[in-house]
Copies of this chain bind each other. A is one copy, B any other.
Amino acid sequence: MAKTVSERADLLPLLGEVFRSHGYEGATLALISKATGLGKGSLYHFFPDGKAQMAAEVLAEIDHWFEVNIFAVLRKSDDPALAIAEMIAGVDRYFRSGHRVCLVGVIALGASRDIFSSQVQDYFSRWNDALAQTLRRAGFSAGVARRRSADALLTIQGALVLARALDDAKVFGQAMADMKARLLAK
């Protein structure tokens, strides 16, 4: 039989797209197999615990991407305005200007939230903390910082939902621009 070795690292993004577009329950092994080009044998070789493990590792990879590219920047930067601009640029890149959906959000809304609740909660609260910290450094009170931070996070999620519902990615771009202005206003 063929031996076209697959790297686990190459697999996760493909799995991510399947979960993104079909949700956890909708992502069948058949779909995953087709998307990755791998039979069940290979899939279960890499992920002995099956679908749940695949989703967990995809979430972990996404978490890592945001940790490195977004959260860390927010925490380290001593220029809040720049850090926020970089966050928004990163988010826009990641979500392909509103054409891509947030897997963490998708899972949060679904029944599978219960299985992944700690990962989902952790992702958003670490983002929330990092952004609030940045806003505090910009001179806002703790209360204002946390409110604006939550507002930014929810704006991103909502913009993705609405852009997809209306099939109009411009909604996302506009929301990001509005949010940017709002975050550091007065």
Q: For chain A, residues 109 to 164, give those with C-beta under 8 angstroms from any C-beta of chain B.
A: 109-111, 113, 117, 120-121, 123-125, 128, 147, 150-151, 153-162, 164
Q: Does A59 contact B (CB under 8 A)?
A: no
Residues of A within 8 A of B (CB): 21-23, 25-26, 101, 104-106, 108-111, 113, 117, 120-121, 123-125, 128, 147, 150-151, 153-162, 164-167, 171, 174-175, 178, 182
* A124, A125, A154, A162 — most chain B CB neighbours (10 Å): A154
What are the residues of chain B within 8 A of A121 when measuring CB–CB? 165-167
Pairwise interchain contact B162-A150, C-beta atoms closer than 8 A? yes
Which of B26, B101, B106, B158 is within 8 Å of A155, CB to CB?
B158
Listed from nearest, the 8 A-B pairs whose CB atoms lie closest are A158-B158, A154-B158, A108-B165, A25-B26, A157-B158, A157-B161, A154-B162, A22-B111
